[in-house]
Chains A and B, each alone.
Chain A
Amino acid sequence: MQILDSAWLIPVIPLVSAGVLALAGRRLKEPIAGWVATVAVGASFVLSFGQLIALVGRPPEARTFVRTLYEWIPAGGFRVPVSYRIDPLSVVMILLITGVGALIHLYAIGYMKGDRDFTRFFFYLNLFVGSMLVLVLADNYLLLFVGWELVGACSYLLIGFWYQSSPNATAAKKAFVVNRVGDFGFVVGLMLIFSVVGSLDYGAVFSIAPSVMTAAMATAVCLCLLVGATGKSAQIPLYVWLPDAMAGPTPVSALIHAATMVTAGVYMIARSFVLWDLSPTAQGITVAIGIITALVAAVIAIGQFNIKKVLAYSTVSQLGYMIAGVGVGGAGYAAGIFHLLAHGFFKALLFLCAGSVIVGMHHEEDMRKMGGLRTKMPITFITYTIGFLALDGIFPFAGYFSKDGILAALFEHGTWWSQVAWALGLVGAFLTATYMARQWFMVFFGKPRWDEDVHPHESPWLMTVPLIVLAIPSTLFGTAGLPGFNQLHRWLEPVFGVAGGEPELLNATTFALLLTSLVVAGSGLVVGWAIWYRATADQRATLAGRLGGVVPFVRNKLYVDEAYAATFERPGYRLTAVLGDEMDQRGIDWLVMGTGAAFKRAGAWFSKGQNGLIRAYAAVMGAGALVFVVYVLARGVSR
C-alpha cells in the first residue's frame, strides 16, 4: 500500500513550504510566494485524493490504516508516538482541508495583491494547513492537541496579520486566550483519560475506556473535551472570539474561521464518539450547548451590519448544529460530519464572495453602504446566491440535506430533550433563512448606497475561479447524503460502526421532516424578503420601534462581551493589580525579609555589634565554617 505509506507527506509538504517561505522572507517576491504555497497545498490535495482511492479499494472493514513514524515522547509509562491514521473520517477531512485550502490559497494571491507582507501571509497560511492536517491525521490525542494548538497559533498570527492596527492585535490576543481557556479543559480531559486508561492512543483508549471508565468519569472526560470544543468551535460560552476574528484578511476568515479550524471541535467529538456513547449526560449537555448556540448566534446575526460579522455569527450558529449533531450520537455522528463538509464548501464560498464584494467596494465592509451590486459583480452575485441558498437549506442545495440530517437525527433520537432540540433547531433554521435573506437583499438589491468615490467592479479571475469551483459542491454535495441513499453515511460506517445507526430510510417520517425543514426555511426567506426588500425604510423603522429595546439589544450582540468584561476581565485585572502591586512587593517580600531581619536582630544581639546585614552574615558563616573545619580536623586527627 504505497500510497497509504506516503500519507505523512500530506501535512509535511505544506509545513516544509511554510518553512521555506519563512526563511526566504521578502526575498521571495509576490506573486511567487503565493504560487509556491498554493502548489504545496495542491500537492497535498492530490495525495489526499490518492488516500481516498486507496481506501475505496479496500473492503470496508479494512479501511483503517495506522502507521507509526517515530516515537515522540517516551517518559516512563507515558509514551506517545508520532503516528497517523487514515480512515474514512480522516480522509474526508483532509480532502476538505486541502481542497478548499488550495482554492483559498489561489484566491488569496489575488486578494493580498500588493500587501507589503505578502510572503509572510502565505507562510502563515501554509503553516495553518499543515497544522490542521496534523490535527485530523493524528492517531493519538496528544498529537491531535499539537495540531489543535498550532492552528490556534496560526489563527492568532493571521487575525493579527495587519498588526499595526491595535484592534486587530487585541482581537488576535482575544482569540488565542479564549481558545486557551478551552484548551485548559481539553488538557484536563486528556489528563483524565491518561490517568484512567494509561495511554492516549486512539486504539487503546477506545478499546479500554468502555471497560475501565465509570459513567461519572466518562461524563467528566467528555465535558472537559467539550470545553475544548466550545473554544475551538466557537460555542457558548466561548464563542466570543470568532466574530472579532473577522479582523483578519478575508481568505483567512474563509479558510480558518469558517471551513476548517473551527470544525476541529466537531471532528474531535466525532472522533471520540466511543467516549460520548459512554455518557448520555454528556450527550445531552453537548446537544443543549450546540442548539442554544445555533439559536443565539442566529438572533445576533440579524442585527449585524458588517458583511463579515453576519457570516461570522452564521458560522457560530451552523457549528452549533454540527455540535448538536455529533452530540446526539447514533446517526448524528455521520450527520454532523456531513454538515461539516457541506458547510465547509458553502461557507468558504460565502466568505470568498464577501471578500470579492469588499475588494470591489474598495475595502468597505458596512452593508449599509452597499446595495444594488448584482449588476456590477455578476459572477460574485450568482455564486453568492448559490452559497446563500445552500446555507438557507433550500432544495436541492447542499445545506438542505446536511442540515436536515442533523434535525432528523435529533428528532429520531426519541427523547424529550432531543425533540425540544429539534424544535429549536427549526426555529434556528427559520432565523438563518431570515438573516441571510437580509444580507442578500442589502448587498445585491435595492438602490446603491455607495460612497461617492467608490466604483464597484468584478474581481480578477484569480478570485472568481475559486468562487465558481466552490459553487459546484455547494450545489451538488447534498447528493452524497440523500435520505435513503446516504453514501456518506455508509462511507463513515466503518468508523462509527453500529453506533452510527442504520442509515435513515426514506419513509413517511423522514419525508415529513424534509418537508417541514423546507417550509420553515422558505418562510424565513419570505420574511426576509418582506422586511428588507419589500418594505420601505419608514416601515422598517416603525417595525423596529414596535420591537422596542430588542433591536439595540440584538445589535449590541446581547451585551455578552460587556458582561464578560465586567465579570472576568476587569476583576481579573484588579486581582493582578492587587497581587502585583501590593501583595508581592509589600506583603510577601516584607514577610520574608522581615523574618530575615528578625534573625539579623537576633544575630546582632548575639554578636552585640552594629554590623550591616552582609557582615553579620559573613560572621555567622565564618563561625559556622570554623566550627566545621575544627570538627573535620578533630575527626581527622582522632583516626
Chain B
Amino acid sequence: MSEAIPGGFPLLSILIFLPVFGALAVAFVPKGRGDVARALGTAISASTLGLAVWLLIHFENGVGAMQFVEAHEWIPSLGVGYRLGVDGISVFLVALTTLMFPLALVASGHVTKRVKHYTIFMLLLEATVLGVFLANDLFLFFVFWEAMLVPMYFLIGYWGSAGRVRAAVKFFIFTAAGSAFLLAAIIGAGVIAGGDFSYAGIFGHDYTLWAQRLLFWAFTISFLVKVPTFPLHTWLPDAHTEAPTAGSVILAALLLKMGTYGLIRFSLPLFPRAAVEAVPVLLTLSVIGIIYAALVAIRQKDFKRLVAYTSVSHLGFITLGIFAITTTGLTGGVAQMINHGLTTGALFFLVGMLYERRHTRLIDDYGGIRRQVPILGGVFLFVVFASAGLPGLNGFIGEMLTLFGTIVVHRWWAITAAIGVILAAIYLLWMYQRLFLGPLDKPENEKMRDMTATDLVVLVPLMILMLVLGIYPKPMLERIEPSVHEVVVAVEAGTAGTDQAYVEPEQTSPSNPVAVVEAAEHAEAEQHAKEAAAESGGHAESGGHGDSAGSGSGHTEGGR
C-alpha cells in the first residue's frame, strides 16, 4: 500500500509519534509518582529536540522545496494522503516546538495536581503541533489542527487559574468556529477541484475568481482567529491570563504561529488572485492590530494580559510582512514567528516565575523588587529589550524585515506600522518599571526568592538564542528565504495575465541589482583579502588592499 519512503528514514513521522508513544508510556507510570511522569515526559520531549537538531543539521540549505518527504496513500480516491515534509517555512517552527516543550515541562515544577495527566496532555499537544507544521496534505493538516484543541482545552480548563473554565470555553469556541470555516473550505476546495483533496491537486486547479474569494476568506478567517488578528483577538487575553505558565508559553510561542503558518502555506499560494485582492484589507487589519493592541497593552494592570496584548501587536508585524507578499517581508514574517516564540515564550516563563513567588498577577502588587531579585530583574530586562526589538537581539531582525519588506509595495501601511516601535517601548518599559524599579515598598515582596537553577536552565537557552539570532541570523534567514520566495513566485504565476497581476518589486526580490552587485563586491573584497593574506604570509602591508577599500567609486558603477 505505501510507497517507498524517499530519503529512507521516516524522521518526521518519528518526530510526531515519539511524543504520542511517550504519552502512552507516561500513562503507565504508577499513581502518585507525578515526579516520575514529569521526568519521563521531559526526557521524551527533549529527545524530540535532539531529532530536530539532527533535522536542522541535515536540512539542505538553499532549497525551496519540501525535504525529508514521506508520502503514503490514505484515501487514494480523494487524493488524501499521509504526506509529511519540511521546508524553510516550517523547519524552524518544528525546532522551536521541540525546544519549547521540554523547557515548558522543566518549568512545570509548580504543577502539583494530576501531574501525570498534565504530562500526557503536554506530550499530545506537542505531537499535534508538530503534525500541523509537518503535514503536507490538507486533510492531514486539518486532523492535527483539530486534535490540538483537545489537549489545550484541558490544559487551560483544568490546570488554569480561577477563571479558567470560562477562558477555556471561549478559547474553544473561537478556534472551533474558525475550524468550521477551515473544514468547509477544505471540502469546498476539494469538491471544486473535482474531488482531488491533495495539496498538489488544489494547488494545480484553476479556480474562478469567485471560488478563490470564498475559499481564500474561509481559510484566512480560520487562520486569523488563531493568529489572532484584530478584531478576532479577544479570546487571547482571557486564555493567556487563565492558562498555567506552560500553557501560556505554548500558546504564545507555538499555537499562534499555526495561524500565520497557515496563511503562508495555504492562503497565499492556493488562492493568489483573491489574496492579492485582499491585501489592503489584511494590511489594514494588521496595522490596526499593531497599534490598537499596543495602546490597550499600556493600560493593563495584569501582567499576563499585558503580555497577551503585546502578542497581538507583535503578530500584527508578522501578518504585515506576510501580506506584503515580498520575499523580504515573508522572510521577516517567518523569522519573526521564531523570534516572537522565543521572546514572548520567555516573557511568559518570567511572569510565571513572578506569579509562583507572589501568587498575584497584578502589576501594582510588585514594585522595586529588582533589589531583592537582581538576577531575575536582569534577565527580565534582557527579554524585555528583545521583545521591544532592540538591535543586537532577535526581535529587531524580524521587525525590520517585515517593515522593509512592506515599504516598497505599501508605503503608508509600513510607515504607520512603524509607530508600533514607539509604543512597544512604552508598554514594556513601563511594565518593567512598575514591577522592578523604584523603592521596594511592599513588605510581602521582601522575602522574594531570586531565580533558581531550574529557572536559569529554562531561560538561559532562550537568551542565548535571542542573542545569536540577533547577531548572526544568516543561517536561519538563508534557509527561510528560498521557500518563501517560492510562495511569492506562486502568487506571481497564479495572478499573471489577470486583473490581479502581481509582480514583486526588484528591491525586495533576490535579484535586486544593487544587492547583487554589492554581494559580488563584498565577495571579491573577501577574496582579495584572503589572497593578500596568503601571499604575504601574515604580514600583509601591500597596496593590494587598497583595491578593496571600496570608496564611493566601486559602488557607482554597480549602482547604475
* Bound CA span A121–B473, Å: 30
| Chain A residues within an 8 Å CB radius of B292 | 579
| Chain A residues within an 8 Å CB radius of B403 | 187, 191
> Taking the complex as formed, is B503 at the interface, i.e. its CB lies under 8 A from any CB of chain A?
no
> Taking the complex as formed, is B234 at the interface, i.e. its CB lies under 8 A from any CB of chain A?
yes
> Taking the complex as formed, is A406 at the interface, i.e. its CB lies under 8 A from any CB of chain B?
no
Contact in complex: A64, B296 (CB < 8 Å): no
Contact in complex: A73, B397 (CB < 8 Å): yes
A-contact bits for B295-338, CB 8 A (1 contact / 0 none): 11111100000000000000000000000001110011001000
Contact in complex: A76, B295 (CB < 8 Å): no
* Residue in A1, A153, A580 whose CB lies within 8 Å of B296: A580
| Chain A residues within an 8 Å CB radius of B510 | 76-77
* Residue in B180, B234, B414, B478 whose CB lies within 8 Å of A592: B234
- Distance in Å: Cβ of A380 to nearest Cβ of chain B: 33
Contact in complex: B300, A166 (CB < 8 Å): no
- Assuming the contacts A204-B514, A211-B560, A636-B77, asked whether A78 and B529 have C-beta atoms less than 8 A apart, the reply is no
- Assuming the contacts A211-B560, A585-B234, asked whether A79 and B512 have C-beta atoms less than 8 A apart, the reply is yes
> Taking the complex as formed, is B53 at the interface, i.e. its CB lies under 8 A from any CB of chain A?
no
Contact in complex: A195, B407 (CB < 8 Å): yes
- Distance in Å: Cβ of B188 to nearest Cβ of chain A: 11
* Bound CA span A66–B547, Å: 10
B-contact bits for A177-209, CB 8 A (1 contact / 0 none): 100110110011011101101110101101110
Contact in complex: A207, B180 (CB < 8 Å): no
B-contact bits for A157-171, CB 8 A (1 contact / 0 none): 000100111100110
> Taking the complex as formed, is A392 at the interface, i.e. its CB lies under 8 A from any CB of chain B?
no
Contact in complex: A78, B430 (CB < 8 Å): no
Residue of B nearest to A617 (CB): B176
> Taking the complex as formed, is B114 at the interface, i.e. its CB lies under 8 A from any CB of chain A?
no
Contact in complex: B429, A176 (CB < 8 Å): yes
B-contact bits for A613-629, CB 8 A (1 contact / 0 none): 11001001100110010
- Distance in Å: Cβ of B461 to nearest Cβ of chain A: 16
- Assuming the contacts A66-B551, A169-B437, A621-B176, asked whether A593 and B187 have C-beta atoms less than 8 A apart, the reply is no
| Chain B residues within an 8 Å CB radius of A591 | 231
Scoring B77, B177, B514 by chain A CB atoms within 10 A of each residue's CB, the highest score goes to: B514
Contact in complex: A163, B437 (CB < 8 Å): yes
> Taking the complex as formed, is A545 at the interface, i.e. its CB lies under 8 A from any CB of chain B?
no
Contact in complex: B177, A589 (CB < 8 Å): no
Which residues 1-34 in A have Cβ within 8 Å of B in the complex?
A: 1-2, 4-5
* Residue in B511, B526, B529 whose CB lies within 8 Å of A77: B511
- Assuming the contacts A2-B540, A166-B438, A579-B292, asked whether A194 and B422 have C-beta atoms less than 8 A apart, the reply is no
Contact in complex: A580, B295 (CB < 8 Å): yes
> Taking the complex as formed, is B357 at the interface, i.e. its CB lies under 8 A from any CB of chain A?
no
Contact in complex: A2, B541 (CB < 8 Å): yes
Which residues 90-108 in B have Cβ within 8 Å of A in the complex?
A: none
Contact in complex: B418, A156 (CB < 8 Å): no
| Chain B residues within an 8 Å CB radius of A142 | 400
> Taking the complex as formed, is B552 at the interface, i.e. its CB lies under 8 A from any CB of chain A?
yes
Contact in complex: A628, B390 (CB < 8 Å): no
* Residue in B75, B180, B421, B430 whose CB lies within 8 Å of A636: B75
| Chain B residues within an 8 Å CB radius of A206 | 552, 555
A-contact bits for B385-405, CB 8 A (1 contact / 0 none): 100001110001100110111
How many chain A residues touch B (Cβ–Cβ < 8 Å)? 93
Q: What band does the interface of chain B fall in when counting residues whose beta carbon is under 8 Å from A?
A: 35 or more
Which secondary structure dominates chain B's binding surface?
helix
> Taking the complex as formed, is A575 at the interface, i.e. its CB lies under 8 A from any CB of chain B?
yes
Contact in complex: A177, B429 (CB < 8 Å): yes
- Assuming the contacts A68-B522, A73-B474, A184-B418, asked whether A194 and B429 have C-beta atoms less than 8 A apart, the reply is no
Residue of A nearest to B536 (CB): A2
- Distance in Å: Cβ of B475 to nearest Cβ of chain A: 10
Contact in complex: A75, B552 (CB < 8 Å): no
Contact in complex: A208, B514 (CB < 8 Å): yes
Contact in complex: A77, B549 (CB < 8 Å): no
Residue of B nearest to A131 (CB): B392
Which residues 56-101 in A have Cβ within 8 Å of B in the complex?
A: 58, 61-62, 64-68, 70-79, 81, 83
- Distance in Å: Cβ of B388 to nearest Cβ of chain A: 9
- Distance in Å: Cβ of A7 to nearest Cβ of chain B: 12
| Chain B residues within an 8 Å CB radius of A1 | 540-541, 545-546
- Assuming the contacts A188-B415, A203-B555, A636-B77, asked whether A77 and B401 have C-beta atoms less than 8 A apart, the reply is no
| Chain A residues within an 8 Å CB radius of B332 | 75
> Taking the complex as formed, is B500 at the interface, i.e. its CB lies under 8 A from any CB of chain A?
no
Contact in complex: A78, B515 (CB < 8 Å): yes
> Taking the complex as formed, is B66 at the interface, i.e. its CB lies under 8 A from any CB of chain A?
no
- Distance in Å: Cβ of B348 to nearest Cβ of chain A: 20
Contact in complex: B474, A191 (CB < 8 Å): no
> Taking the complex as formed, is A308 at the interface, i.e. its CB lies under 8 A from any CB of chain B?
no
Which residues 577-596 in A have Cβ within 8 Å of B in the complex?
A: 577, 579-581, 583-585, 588-589, 591-593, 596
Instruction: Please give the residue numbers on chain A whose beta carbons come within 8 Å of chain B beta carbons, in ascending order.
Output: 1-2, 4-5, 58, 61-62, 64-68, 70-79, 81, 83, 142, 145-146, 149-150, 153, 156, 160, 163-166, 169-170, 173, 176-177, 180-181, 183-184, 187-188, 190-192, 194-195, 197-199, 201, 203-204, 206-208, 211, 573, 575-577, 579-581, 583-585, 588-589, 591-593, 596, 599, 613-614, 617, 620-621, 624-625, 628, 631-632, 635-636, 638-639
A-B contact pairs, 7 of them (CB 8 A): A5-B540, A61-B551, A71-B522, A75-B405, A77-B514, A173-B430, A198-B513
Other CB < 8 Å A-B pairs besides A61-B551, A146-B392, A636-B75, 14 of them?
A62-B546, A76-B326, A77-B511, A77-B515, A165-B438, A173-B433, A183-B421, A199-B514, A204-B558, A207-B552, A576-B296, A588-B230, A617-B172, A621-B180
Instruction: Please give the residue numbers on chain B whose beta carbons come within 8 Å of chain A beta carbons, in ascending order.
Output: 75, 77-78, 80, 169-170, 172-174, 176-177, 179-180, 183-184, 187, 195, 230-232, 234, 292, 295-300, 326-328, 331-332, 335, 368, 370-371, 385, 390-392, 396-397, 400-401, 403-405, 407-408, 411, 414-415, 418-419, 421-422, 425-426, 429-430, 433, 436-440, 472-474, 477-478, 480-481, 485, 506-515, 518-519, 522, 525-526, 529, 539-541, 545-546, 548-552, 554-556, 558-560
